[in-house]
């Protein structure tokens, strides 16, 4: 598919790198502008409405998040570029946006852009960006977007997350009904695996603090603190056992 792109980065060498990679590897993506600051970038994006935005996280004394707050619909699909591969990057990825960690190579660039183009082709542009800004609450809190706004949760209150096709049901011990989030389970897996959660099945990610019992079987099953029984797949049994042994 054909697409347009804008680069916002305060480092000219990374502007040149991204522009060169686009020109040589994605001839179907037309670069229609570059900027080096939040103000210039917001004006450029709002004037041209590109399909893709290659956005640096740190832009002088401001950030790429400041730029996102200034955008008017329709927002582009964002591919972040950052020199910091820590918590912020995980939050970005959790919100279904791709990222590049500086310095990045051509293979990493190809993967990020291919995913962004696939998302553009399958789902179109995101309806809004505020969901991105909502997840970065703290290391032990997460904000989940729903149709009405954001649900701010402590990770210890999450029992498990279950896949519902392209959506995820988040089961919380303080709520009678799960929270339906328009994010695939794979992104929760990536964001939460180093925070005490373990994938036990293609459809289930559980908080190890709420595992009350493991019942042996071909894969077996776990019983959670609310007496929910969830199956464990043979393929993922090993990583569950490793986590249980460390408790």
58 versus 89: the higher-pLDDT residue is 58
64 versus 32: the higher-pLDDT residue is 32
Domain definitions of the chain by residue range: 3-133, 138-246
12 dihedral zone (left: phi>0; alpha: psi -120 to 50; beta):
alpha
Q: Rounded mean pLDDT of 128-151?
A: 63
229 pairs with which residues across the strands? 223
Closest to 99 (Cα-Cα) out of 123, 84, 50, 29: 84
SS3 at position 189? helix
d(Cα 99, Cα 81) in Å, to the nearest integer? 6
CB atoms within 10 A of CB 90: 20
- Asked if the model's pLDDT at residue 97 lies above 80, the reply is no
First CA to last CA distance, the chain: 49
Angle between helices 87-94 and 185-192 (to 10 degrees): 170
- Asked if the model's pLDDT at residue 138 lies above 90, the reply is no
- Asked if the model's pLDDT at residue 96 lies above 50, the reply is no
d(Cα 135, Cα 128) in Å, to the nearest integer? 14
Could you give the C-alpha distances from 193 to 130, 138, 166, 209, 210, in angstroms and in order?
24, 16, 19, 13, 15
Q: Rounded mean pLDDT of 62-87?
A: 82
d(Cα 64, Cα 11) in Å, to the nearest integer? 13
pLDDT score recorded for residue 29: 97
pLDDT score recorded for residue 164: 83
100 versus 98: the higher-pLDDT residue is 100
% of the chain with per-residue pLDDT over 70: 86
pLDDT score recorded for residue 199: 95
In the chain, % helix, strand, coil (3-state, to 5) comes to 35, 30, 30
Q: Rounded mean pLDDT of 113-120?
A: 87
Query: pLDDT-derived band of residue 149, with 50, 70 and 90 as boundaries?
Result: low
Do 164 and 154 meet the contact criterion of CB atoms below 8 Å apart?
Answer: no
Do 8 and 54 meet the contact criterion of CB atoms below 8 Å apart?
Answer: yes
Which class in CATH covers the domain with range 3-133? alpha beta
What is the fold of 138-246? OB fold (Dihydrolipoamide Acetyltransferase, E2P) (2.40.50)
Residue 55 sits at the vertex; the CA angle it makes with 167 and 124, to the nearest 5 degrees, is 40
33 versus 129: the higher-pLDDT residue is 33
């Amino acid at each position: 598919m054909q697409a347009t792109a804008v680069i916002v980065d305060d480092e000219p060498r990374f502007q040149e790198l991204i522009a060169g990679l686009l020109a040589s590897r994605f001839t179907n993506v037309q670069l229609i502008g570059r900027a080096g600051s939040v103000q210039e970038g917001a004006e450029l994006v709002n004037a041209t409405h590109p399909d893709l935005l290659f956005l640096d996280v740190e832009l002088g004394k401001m950030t790429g998040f400041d730029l996102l707050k200034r955008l008017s619909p329709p927002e582009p699909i964002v591919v972040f570029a950052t020199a910091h591969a820590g918590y912020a990057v995980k939050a970005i990825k959790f919100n279904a946006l791709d990222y590049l960690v500086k310095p990045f190579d051509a293979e990493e660039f190809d993967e990020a852009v291919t995913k962004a183009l696939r998302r553009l082709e399958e789902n179109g542009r995101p309806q809004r960006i505020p969901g991105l800004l909502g997840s970065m609450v703290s290391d032990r809190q997460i904000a989940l977007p729903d149709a009405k706004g954001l649900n701010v949760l402590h990770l210890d209150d999450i029992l498990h997350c279950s896949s519902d096709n392209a959506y995820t049901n988040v089961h919380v011990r303080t709520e009678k009904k799960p929270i339906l989030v328009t994010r695939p389970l794979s992104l929760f897996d990536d964001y939460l695996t180093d925070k005490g959660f373990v994938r036990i099945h293609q459809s289930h990610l559980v908080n190890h603090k709420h595992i009350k019992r493991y019942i042996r079987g071909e894969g077996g099953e776990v019983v959670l603190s609310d007496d929910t029984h969830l199956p464990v797949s043979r393929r993922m049994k090993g990583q569950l056992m490793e986590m249980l042994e460390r408790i």
